[in-house]
Homo-oligomer: A and B are copies of this chain.
């Protein structure tokens, strides 16, 4: 297993001004793995419940996503949330951790040899436990959320220390480093261990900071956004998927990976759940990447 992705697999109730879904396939590992599957063949490290619909498992396996690292016990994690017209901010109505509550990841042997590891948004304790089982990772990408910054900062810091590329959204970066200035936040983050820090800004794109370079990735001007759930996860999944498929970690390949991240995230927002990610093909991705390139030429 070249690439493994640890995170949540969930059933989501989501409502946006443009529609709603109930019990839809979601979770950080799900979105990330599906986005990554456009570039590489990831394995998922997560837990689901006995209630998890078999059709989703079949769909993921058919897509070439490995599920040997997916434990099954109790009830599936559920998230119930909504978005108002400012689609940058998810509001949570209810979170049922269920099987996630006492989840201790135990990696299959093949997963321990993974070179690329994406620690998608999940309890930093789980992220750390996954990382400790991987023998010799070549590149570790870590994502998180404000909840962990507020409640499990110490463990999160341990994960960040072992991270190569840290993903934060702008609000999290400001919160973690207690500054409104994203450049200062990124520079602080680079002192903690990662050699690259990516600040995701939703519709405003993303910023990649490395030691002495800065890359500014635009947001894609979407006229019709239906559901931004999973955009950050899709971003990270496409990013590590591209890295795993190229095995290059220099500035230029990181930039390209960020652009693939932006591309998959922009597609993901166009439909609920994983519907859009499932409908696009390699040529759609390359076409949008070309549009990105053209809209920044001057």
- Tell me which residues across on chain B come within 8 A of A219, comparing CB atoms: 216
CB-CB contacts below 8 Å: A85-100 with B: 85-87
Copies in the complex: 2
- Say yes or no: is A104 at the interface (Cβ < 8 Å to chain B): no
The number of chain A residues touching the other chain, given as a range, is 35 or more
**Residue contact B180 to A296, C-beta cutoff 8 Å:** no
**Residue contact A256 to B298, C-beta cutoff 8 Å:** yes
- Tell me which residues across on chain B come within 8 A of A201, comparing CB atoms: 204
- Complex: A214 Cα to B291 Cα, angstroms: 9
- Say yes or no: is A103 at the interface (Cβ < 8 Å to chain B): no
- Say yes or no: is A135 at the interface (Cβ < 8 Å to chain B): no
- Complex: A218 Cα to B216 Cα, angstroms: 6
- Tell me which residues across on chain B come within 8 A of A223, comparing CB atoms: 181, 183-184, 187
Shortest CB–CB separation between residue A167 and chain B, in angstroms? 17
Shortest CB–CB separation between residue A202 and chain B, in angstroms? 10
- Complex: A226 Cα to B6 Cα, angstroms: 42
- Complex: A298 Cα to B260 Cα, angstroms: 11
**Residue contact A181 to B225, C-beta cutoff 8 Å:** yes
- Complex: A216 Cα to B184 Cα, angstroms: 24
Smallest CB-CB A-B distances: 9 pairs? A216-B218, A204-B204, A255-B298, A85-B180, A183-B223, A183-B221, A216-B295, A214-B295, A296-B296
Binding site for B on A (CB under 8 A): 85-87, 180-184, 187, 201, 203-205, 207, 213-219, 221-223, 225, 252, 255-256, 258-259, 293, 295-298
Other A-B pairs beyond A86-B180, A187-B223, 13, CB < 8 Å: A87-B180, A181-B222, A182-B221, A183-B222, A201-B204, A215-B295, A215-B296, A215-B298, A216-B218, A216-B221, A258-B298, A293-B298, A296-B296
